[in-house]
Amino acid sequence: MSLRRLIIWSIIGTGISSVTIQLLTIREFLTQFHGNEITISLVLFSWLMLTGLGSLVAKPFRHSSLKIYTLLTLMIALWPLPQMILIRGCREALFIHGSSPGFYTIFLYIVITVAPYCLLTGFILPYAQKVLNDHHHHFESGDLYITDNIGDILGGALFSFLLVYWLKPFPIIALTSALLIGVGLLLLLRSRSYVLLLTALVLASFFYRYALDRPFERHSLSTQYGDVIRYIESPYGRIVVSREGPQRTFWESGIPLYSDSNIVNSEEKIHYPLCQLDRAENVLLISGGLGETLAEVSKYGPAHVDYVELDPYLTDVALELDVIEKAPFLEIKNTDGRRHMKTTERKYDAIIIDLPDPDTFQINRFFTREFFSLAKKVLKRGGVVSMGVRYSQNYLSEIRKKKLSTLYNTARLYFRNVILLPGQEAYFVCSDRELWLDIPARLKSKSIKTSYIEGFFYGNVTKERIRELKEGIDPGEAINTDFEPRLINMVFQEWFTKHGTSPRYFIVILAVLTIIYIVFLGRHKYVLFSTGVTAMGAEMLVIFAFQVIYGYIYLQIGAIITAFLLGLLPGAMVGKTWRRRDAFKLVVSEGLILSLLLLFFVWLTCSRSDLHPFFFLGFCFLFSFFCGFQFPVVTSIIGERNSPAAGCLAADLCGGAVGTLATGTILIPLWGIRSAVIFLILVKVSSIMVVLFSGKKAV
């Protein structure tokens, strides 16, 4: 095979590997830090910024070495496995087990662990062009961009539509590194570097020995989970069943869902709402059906219980281990809870939500105005809705009071009576009927026996604690909605307050560095920078909006990123081949990108309807098409004599990093999705002004 073909295949292989490793890394950090969408934006920001920095480092290199390029290719192929092991192993070594690290700690940990790989992948792309040109193979910056996009698309599609359903992370790494390893070995063989070839073969054999070893991969999780007895990589999340002595714990994406013999939680979440009813014929249980839960529900003699759990892998392993009690009234539905509520024809006496705190957009959507409106529609007259959130029985912080107040005020929009009961969690029971606070007396009237409530309720749920919760409610606190998530805002504030830090320093430093970078960037590269900002910002908008509507971004994030990548290739090809003035092409693409942002803003403001997922994917494709269109146009304006590849790639990637962080970490959590759209529109308006002013001179 010719040198040109080998280098081109190595560029494609780098694209396949980098996108796959990026997606695996996002999923890994989501499970390591019980992560929310802010974690996604931090990983993407770090990834893009470090990759852009790697491209900038390549810019001063005027000459290339084929041997160095080959070694870098092999390093990129082999490093992802040690990187994944480091992410899993070092977390417990650096942080206290079970603790929740702060924002800056998590950010620093992400940067340190992904830096080697990102710097290498950023460096090698413009360096590959130098290798080809130094060996007298004509290869323009637009060709590099298109070739890299081919690999990116292949990697995203392979992961999203095939690998995520069939393989665990280590075998995925082994498979997606194969092309780069093969090309690296062929390049060493072609250059007759036999010592290096033998060394590479030995390293590759060790790489595949451990990457394909199932017990080794499971053992890599032991530092976080302890004795792992079940390990499943579901498309929806990571399911781990661990054991400590006789007790088993079920984990999903790093969050403990259930532990054996947790009778307190099972009794509180079931009896607080169900004892309020005269009869509980039809019950909807959204998550939390493991363990003693269904046995407690059965005490009310229900005719039908719909247990909704998004992940079928979780319910399958629970049934296998006899953690879900089979019953004639039980029907397990593996779907999104809100999706089920929108499509069911059944009316329920009670809806019991047993989810973690609303720390993510996926969970927040079960604590919003839109959810309570939907719950009211599927409840029978006088039905109850119940949910619990964490709180400290001995001290209520100001932020915790705000969270409870927001949830209380939101529920009160649709239910005449809302009571708070201070158990292991603060339980909200909502209904239009009269509600009882004396739970043991109500259970006694129904002849229902309990273990915990009967003996310990009066000692723990005192009148003083009930009054303290009630007095902590501020009726003026804001309402929580799907697209203006006030609870997520408070989670963000609580995150910093808990660790005695502030996001201001981070925001100010980022703003200063961005301004300095823009000043030295040049007008045409600023266009690519702004396009990177809006492209990744729009990607974050779609991720958050999709999460709000459908609630399973862990599965679909690969499809969304792939859709964005898919549009870049045809866009770049059209931009390279369309025979019009470059300034005119740039103006057209800028206008179309701005139009798409305005269209998203109109949908968000006027409709917010539940669009089919293909609409989101189509929006991603169109947006990225016009973004990809601009890269060869701008490099053509700058001219190949000025070696624009490294600088343009860096501008695009750094812009993407800023857009990711600004929208996903700052604007959406603090002020909602609409504020993020307005920010992106303003960025693109500034870019259009730059194009128009520079376009006049160009013409």
pLDDT for 621-657, tens place per residue? 999 898 888 888 888 877 766 666 667 888 888 888 8
What is the token pair recorded at 496? Answer: 């910093």
Q: Encoding tokens for residue 11?
A: 């560029």
Please give the Cα distance from 41 to 36 (Å, whole number): 9
pTM of the predicted structure, to 2 decimals = 0.84
Q: How far apart are CA 512 and CA 324, in angstroms?
A: 54
CATH code: domain of residue 294: 3.40.50.150
In a domain, 277, yes or no: yes
**pLDDT score of 697:** 44
Say if residues 303 and 282 touch (Cβ distance below 8 Å): yes
How much is the pLDDT for 383? Answer: 95
**Phi/psi at 246 (5° precision):** -85, -5
Q: Same domain for 4 and 72?
A: yes
Closest C-alpha among 215, 152, 187 to residue 73: 187
Structural contact between residues 355 and 286, judged by C-beta atoms closer than 8 angstroms: yes
The answer to whether residue 486 is domain-embedded is no
Print the domain residue range for 231: 222-255
Q: Do 172 and 295 sit in the same domain of this protein?
A: no
Same structural domain, 524 and 568: yes
Strands 348-353 and 282-286 come out as parallel
Are 250 and 271 members of one domain?
Answer: no
Shared domain for 83 and 96, answered yes or no, is yes
Residue 392, domain member (yes or no): yes
Q: Are residues 541 and 617 in the same domain?
A: yes
Which pLDDT does position 552 carry in this prediction?
Answer: 61
Domain C-terminal end among 218, 235, 270: 218
For every residue of 94-124, which 3-state class applies, written as one string? HCCCCCCCCHHHHHHHHHHHHHHHHHHHHHH
pLDDT at 96: 67
Q: Same domain for 411 and 355? A: yes
Residue 92: its pLDDT value, please?
73
DSSP, res 312: H
CA-based torsion, 670, 672, 673, 674: positive or negative = negative
Express each pLDDT in 134-144 by its tens digit: 888 888 877 88
Same domain, yes or no, for 588 and 440? Answer: no
What is the model's pLDDT at position 110? Answer: 92
Same domain, 87 and 141: yes
Instruction: Please indicate, yes or no, whether residues 242 and 130 belong to a single structural domain of this protein.
Output: no
378 occurs within a structural domain: yes
CA distance 155 to 20: 6
Which regions in the chain score pLDDT beneath 70? Answer: 1, 34-37, 96-100, 499, 551-558, 579-580, 582, 607-609, 640-646, 694-699
Domain boundary among 192, 218, 244: 218
Residue 354, helix vs strand vs coil:
coil
Neighbour order of strands in the sheet with 247-252: 227-234, 237-244, 247-252, 255-259
Residues 463 and 562 grouped into a single domain: no
SS3 at position 233? strand
Final residue in a domain of this structure, among 166, 194, 218: 218
Residues 51 and 95 reside in one and the same domain: yes
Tell me how far apart the alpha carbons of residues 188 and 10 are, in angstroms, rounded to a whole number: 13
Which residues have C-beta within 8 Å of that of residue 505, sequence separation ≥ 6?
Answer: none
494 located within any domain? no
Q: Which pLDDT value is given to residue 698?
A: 40
Q: Do residues 333 and 308 lie in contact, with contact meaning Cβ atoms separated by under 8 Å?
A: yes
CA–CA dist 238, 115 (Å, integer):
24
Does 495 fall in a domain? no
- For residue 498, being part of any structural domain is answered with no
Give me the CATH number covering residue 511: 1.20.1250.20
- What is the count of structural domains for the chain? 4
Residue 398 lies in a domain: yes
Q: In 10 A of CB 628, how many CB atoms?
A: 29
Residue 695's pLDDT is 52
